[in-house]
Amino acid sequence: MAFPSLTFGIVLLFVGVIVLPGANAKASRAFFVFGDSLVDSGNNNYLATTARADSPPYGIDFPTRRPTGRFSNGLNIPDLISQRLGAESALPYLSPQLRGNKLFVGANFASAGIGILNDTGSQFLNIIRMYRQLEYFQEYQQRVASQIGVARTRRLVNQALVLITVGGNDFVNNYYLVPYSARSTQYSLPDYVKFLIVEFRKLLQRLYDLGARRVIVTGTGPLGCVPAELAMRGGRYGGCSAELQRAATLYNPQLQHMIQGLNKKIGRDVFIAANTALMHNDFISNPRAYGFTTSKIACCGQGPYNGIGLCTPLSNLCPERNLYAFWDPFHPSEKANKLIVEQIMSGSKRYMNPMNLSTILALDAST
């Protein structure tokens, strides 16, 4: 079963700081997370779904050494971004602990298995699809407004950091899920990509309408090169799936073009394009240069490349997680996540165009 695959339409927003009731003397900013299992920090633990990471060995390298619902051996991308900003991680929106002053930290709305399209991940049944995540975001704002008022809530949202990671499941868990899937009979691949871009544009516009003012959008990673796809489609020599790689090659340039058009409509560079395909390809094509022994075999799994099924207590488990680019058949290891976040923070224009997150934060702090 695949969850998000290596894609994340990441959206990061940051505009400034805001001091809230109960905060320390130093200013704080909220962090909101939307998307799939690459960024789900435990919402699915509260849902009746098979798309869960709530049993060992998930979380084996997390500070508590226990599974949390993150599809990682340790920290995921939102955790690592929060660390770089000197903030605590946002709680899952469904967590009963998200109340009081914890609301001012932000919230994680992500849910493993979802995609841009509402029919993506239907096999997982009860998951929080994108339209519902955005509804929860509105609900969140109402909860905060009841404590600090509408105007201050608007400022909190305008000045927040937002991450949205979505898109890979629309290929892995929809178009290519089974031969002759409904979407693959309805659309040729080029037409399906165009359809996804149109629908993703609506999501980004909606985030803007809800207060987003600085948005970093990343496309898919190398969809055909994750261990699950190597096991299922890699053939005798374990090469990346040509068809899934073609999907990523079609999708990513059109996503960047859409972002440019949306910026032109708005009249400012609200949206920043992040080349996550390049970020992943760096350590997939040359793993030893980044301290990995392999980018083909998952640390946790079974079958060829440890790419079959899920990571469970009965799976093969590598003793040194830092030597593996992939934790399970679909998700990067914590170490790989750190490399991705490093490029988001400080990568050149090849990775982050027109600027990286560190530059964004510096610019916004000076205004």
Active site residues per annotation: 37, 328, 331
Reading the block at residue 300, the tokens are 């946790």
Gap between the Cα atoms of 157 and 21, Å rounded: 15
Gap between the Cα atoms of 61 and 66, Å rounded: 8
Contact (CB, 8 A) for 300 and 57: yes
Q: Which helix (H) or strand (E) holds 35?
A: strand 31-35
Angle of helix 276-285 relative to helix 334-346, nearest 10 degrees, comes to: 130
Report CA-CA distances (Å) from 259 to 73, 191, 244, 278.
33, 18, 23, 18
Beta strand pairing call for 300-301 and 316-317: antiparallel
Q: What is the DSSP letter of 314?
A: T
Q: Which helix (H) or strand (E) holds 163?
A: strand 161-165
Angle of helix 334-346 relative to helix 357-365, nearest 10 degrees, comes to: 50
